[in-house]
Amino acid sequence: DSGVTQTPKHLITATGQRVTLRCSPRSGDLSVYWYQQSLDQGLQFLIQYYNGEERAKGNILERFSAQQFPDLHSELNLSSLELGDSALYFCASSVDHGSSYNEQFFGPGTRLTVL
Amino acid sequence: AQTVTQSQPEMSVQEAETVTLSCTYDTSESDYYLFWYKQPPSRQMILVIRQEAYKQQNATENRFSVNFQKAAKSFSLKISDSQLGDAAMYFCAYGRNFGNEKLTFGTGTRLTIIP
């Protein structure tokens, strides 16, 4: 158990709908990362938040958005869903010790299926 | 931009034998980390081993070791005495050593253990 929790574990929805994925980082971790893993592919970085602020953005679609709340949990919002959005969505968290390396701890993922 | 390439989509090995998974990467940075993650059927991302680019000594973790060739930008994973529980997808990943930074993943190698 990494200490990172994600809900729900599975989500099945229809095209055109909107869903929200939730992530609670490890206690004390200020950074949250979202990654997308399409079928049998590597993980693609979507977005990173640090202490409530957006820090880095990857190949995230405009239909997707995220935020990090004062209690440091994060939500990833996916709207106008398409079949191709079906994937495993991972959240990871890390502490911040300035310029030194900080390991990312991954949650169990949310499996999204768009029908 | 950094890229990570895993050219072996699938590998298999007899139980108790040794197998090597290949990874190459491209970066203009000199200070970075490289990782191998294991993803079993449960889909959990498990850190297997990491290598700091400024360290010449190859990292080892029990039956897992790496061959890090910085000039060649090569980072292979050797699994000795393969066990049935080693069956999984293995992902090579790169992270710039600048505090909290995203990870860039390869497309993975599916490892099958033959009893």
Encode pLDDT of B16-41 as tens digits. 999 999 999 999 988 899 999 999 99
Q: What is the mean pLDDT of chain A?
A: 93
For residue A10, list chain B residues with Cβ-Cβ distance below 8 A. none
Are the Cβ atoms of A101 and B44 closer than 8 angstroms? no
Tokens 């977005």 found at: A47
**Contacts (Cβ under 8 Å, ≥6 apart) of B1:** none
Q: Which residues of A28-67 are buried (b: 16+ CB within 10 A; e: fewer)?
A: ebbbbbbbbbeeeebbbbbbbbbeeeebeeeebeeebebe
Which of B50, B48, B41, B37 lies closest to B88, judged by CA?
A: B41
Mean pLDDT of the region B97-101? 73
Among the ranges given (A22-26, B40-44, B77-81), the one the predictor scored with the smallest mean pLDDT: B40-44
Task: Note the pLDDT tens digit of each residue in A83-114.
Answer: 999 999 999 999 876 656 778 999 999 999 99
* Percent of chain A residues past pLDDT 70, beyond the cut: 97
- Hey, is the C-beta of A41 within 8 angstroms of any chain B C-beta? yes
Can you give the pLDDT at residue B114? Answer: 97
The whole-angstrom separation of Cα B44 and Cα B36 is 13
A2: tokens are 């990494």
Q: Are strands B24-26 and B3-5 parallel, antiparallel or unpaired?
A: antiparallel
Around Cβ B20, how many Cβ atoms within 10 Å? 15
Can you give the pLDDT at residue B99? Answer: 67
- Hey, is the C-beta of B114 within 8 angstroms of any chain A C-beta? no
